[in-house]
């Protein structure tokens, strides 16, 4: 069997694809790679929430699979939106890497921090309201260059991305218990066309059942919670224990809940409860960003 893997052209996307290719090769599956440009890669001058959120990194690859240009695509699972088009499935979830954020900085007490994530911004401001958190976009190399150029004292990156790229960067890991990660952060997922035989091949070679369970519990909570890409939300599950929080944009208020979940229905009930308790924060975030964007 020979399969075509679609991927973005960033160093991180290629590193993730290389991992999948290696594991498939060990299972006797030959692969080739096709690069696919996405809106998230070309529109780097604006925040993600203005161009469709994290899903902009996935849409073009979904379309390539549905057209038959490739058989599968490799993604950071946190980029995959809840609503999926017909004809594609999440065929495999790889063993999860670190879910944590990493504060890349040469300084002991940075003041100007780069991040375009509303979650990261709110959590940083909760930790220290005196910080100056400024937007930053681009791939890992671009953001690290801007840090080196002195435009920022620090930037926040996913620790898993640095590890996959083999980068040794000055800074420190942010405790995921305090800085609750984004849903599915640290996880690689493989999306394929909706073909049972293909999905079975990918699952046999790549699937980690524990990571699948935990990430799917996170996704069930987020689907019920809603809030869109503009609301600061963290959601992290490890071995069935889930912690989730919704914050105000300035990090001065939040609702945080924890639970041990035994399945999807329990996760959805948890998500509905948290949504009801944090409805004011979700509505406030939406209204503030709508006004800021001129909507």
pLDDT tens-digit readout, 88-105: 999 999 999 999 999 999
Per-residue tokens: 238 = 């490890």
pLDDT tens for 258-268 read 999 999 999 99
List, in order, residues 6 or more apart from 47 with CB less than 8 Å away: 116, 135, 137
Secondary structure E strands in the chain = 2-7, 30-35, 72-76, 88-93, 101-104, 112-114, 132-134, 154-158, 171-173, 188-193, 233-238, 241-247, 254-260
Calpha distance 207→94 (Å, rounded): 5
- Give the chain's domains with CATH numbers: 2-94+187-207 (3.40.190.10), 101-173 (3.40.190.10), 221-292 (3.30.160.40)
pLDDT tens for 225-282 read 987 778 999 999 999 999 999 999 999 999 999 999 999 999 999 999 999 999 999 9
Q: Single out the catalytic residue among 79, 97, 101, 214.
A: 79
Answer yes or no: 79 catalytic.
yes
Strand 30-35 and strand 171-173: pairing?
Answer: unpaired
Provide the 3-class DSSP secondary structure of residue 184.
coil
Going by the DSSP 8-state scheme, the letter that residue 255 receives in this structure is E
CA distance to 2, 53, 194, 242, per residue, from 87 (Å): 20, 22, 5, 31
Calpha distance 259→200 (Å, rounded): 32
Contact 106, 125 (CB under 8 A): no
- Residues 148, 149, 150: CA angle, nearest 5 degrees: 90
CA distance to 53, 96, 132, 136, per residue, from 81 (Å): 9, 18, 30, 22
Per DSSP, the residues of 17-74 read: HHHHHHHHHHTT-EEEEEE---HHHH-TTS-GGGTTGGGHHHHHHHHHHHHTS-SEEE
List, in order, residues 6 or more apart from 153 with CB less than 8 Å away: 105, 107, 110, 111, 112, 113
Nearest to residue 255, comparing CAs of 126, 156, 130, 113?
Answer: 126
Query: Would you give per-residue pLDDT tens digits along the chain (295 residues)?
Result: 799 999 999 999 999 999 999 999 999 999 999 999 876 555 445 444 444 445 677 999 999 999 999 999 999 999 998 888 999 999 999 999 999 999 999 999 999 999 999 999 999 999 999 999 999 988 999 999 999 999 999 999 999 999 999 999 999 999 999 999 999 999 999 999 999 999 999 999 999 999 999 999 999 999 999 877 789 999 999 999 999 999 999 999 999 999 999 999 999 999 999 999 999 999 999 888 776 665 5
Indicate the burial class of 55 (C-beta count within 10 angstroms; 0-12, 13-18, 19 or more): buried
């Amino acid at each position: 069997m020979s399969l075509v893997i679609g991927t973005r052209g960033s160093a991180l996307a290629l590193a993730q694809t290389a991992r999948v290719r290696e594991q498939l090769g060990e299972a006797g599956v030959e692969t080739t790679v096709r690069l696919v440009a996405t809106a998230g890669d070309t529109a780097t001058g604006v925040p993600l929430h203005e161009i469709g959120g994290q899903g902009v990194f996935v849409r073009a690859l979904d379309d390539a699979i549905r057209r038959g240009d490739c058989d599968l695509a490799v993604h950071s699972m946190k980029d995959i939106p809840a609503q999926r088009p017909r004809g594609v499935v999440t065929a495999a979830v790889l063993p999860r890497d670190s879910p944590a954020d990493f504060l890349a900085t040469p300084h002991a007490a940075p003041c100007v921090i780069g991040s375009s994530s509303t979650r990261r911004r709110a959590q940083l401001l909760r930790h220290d309201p005196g910080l100056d958190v400024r937007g930053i976009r681009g791939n890992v190399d671009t953001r690290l260059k801007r840090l080196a150029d002195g435009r920022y004292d620090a930037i926040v990156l996913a620790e898993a991305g640095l590890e996959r790229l083999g980068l040794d960067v000055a800074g420190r890991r942010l405790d995921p218990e305090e800085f609750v990660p984004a849903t599915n952060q640290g996880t690689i997922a493989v999306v394929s066309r909706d073909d049972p035989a293909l999905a079975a091949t990918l699952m046999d070679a790549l699937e980690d059942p524990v990571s699948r369970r935990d990430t799917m519990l996170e996704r069930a909570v987020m689907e019920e919670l809603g809030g869109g890409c503009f609301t600061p939300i963290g959601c992290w599950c490890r071995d069935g224990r889930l912690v989730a929080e919704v914050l105000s944009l300035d990090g001065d208020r939040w609702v945080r809940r924890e639970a041990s979940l035994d399945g999807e229905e329990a996760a959805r009930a948890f998500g509905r409860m948290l949504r009801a308790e944090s409805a004011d924060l979700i509505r406030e975030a939406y209204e503030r960003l709508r006004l800021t964007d001129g909507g």
